[in-house]
């Protein structure tokens, strides 16, 4: 299947930024740099396909924990919210992390909703009381036994990310040089993890 194109650049690479910044280090380095970035950033947008629709919705989430050698991403959820309706219909999701300096990670995978109380208790945070509220019935109190509290587990399939290879000042200098010369700056470590690579890393 041919991709989209709107230009004929002949023998010259039409995407010099990617060509200049793409890296292919060891699997260990790629995986660890991604997981360190996720830990550092913590907040992301979880994108789901809306139930009974072809539209997408993104919601801000805070990472609660990682399992599966780091490639299972766990989030707290209210089981009665719209995102759980989405996930019941469509398991495919994306989680996107970004920083104010422009570093980013995009992770695609499949999500499940876990309501087992042992799992919830393991990852429970007292801060959930503020988000869930106490309904005053002795059951729905925002505590670890509140049945509204569940875990969304995203099992990563693929990932791509860009983290800075220079300091912020160094990046500005490279960008200024690029503007002056027309040469794409070498400022980021642009990397991709395939489904096979993530499965290999999980199995270590």
CATH classification for the domain delimited by 26-203, as one of 3.40.50.300, 2.30.110.10, 2.60.120.10, 1.10.10.10 = 2.30.110.10
Instruction: Collect the ranges in the chain with pLDDT lower than 50.
Output: 169-170, 172-173, 178
The domain spans of the chain are 26-203
Measured CA to CA, the distance from residue 117 to residue 151 in angstroms comes to: 10
**Residues 32-74: tens digit of each pLDDT:** 999 999 999 999 999 999 999 999 999 999 999 999 999 999 9
Measured CA to CA, the distance from residue 23 to residue 7 in angstroms comes to: 25
Strand partners, 77: 150
Q: In sequence order, what DSSP letters do the residues of 47-72 get, joined into one string?
A: EEEPTTSS-EEEEEEEEEEEETTTTE
Q: What is the pTM of this model?
A: 0.85
């Amino acid at each position: 299947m041919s991709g989209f194109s709107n230009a004929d650049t002949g023998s010259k690479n039409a995407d010099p930024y990617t060509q200049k910044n793409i890296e292919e280090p060891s699997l260990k380095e790629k995986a660890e740099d991604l997981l360190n970035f996720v830990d550092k950033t913590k907040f992301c947008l979880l994108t789901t396909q809306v139930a009974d629709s072809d539209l997408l919705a993104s919601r801000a989430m805070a990472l609660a924990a990682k399992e599966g050698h780091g490639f299972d991403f766990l989030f707290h959820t209210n089981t009665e919210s719209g995102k759980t309706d989405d996930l019941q219909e469509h398991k495919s999701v994306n989680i996107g992390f970004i920083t104010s300096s422009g570093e980013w990670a995009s992770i695609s995978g499949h999500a499940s909703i876990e309501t087992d109380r042992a799992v919830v208790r393991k990852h429970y945070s007292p801060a959930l009381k503020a988000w869930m509220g106490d309904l005053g019935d002795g059951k729905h109190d925002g505590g670890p036994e509140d049945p509204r509290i569940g875990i969304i587990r995203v099992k990563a399939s693929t990932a791509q990310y860009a983290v800075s290879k220079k300091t912020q000042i160094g990046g500005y200098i490279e960008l200024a040089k690029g503007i002056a010369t027309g040469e794409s700056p070498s400022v980021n470590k642009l990397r991709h993890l395939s489904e096979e690579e993530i499965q290999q890393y999980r199995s270590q």
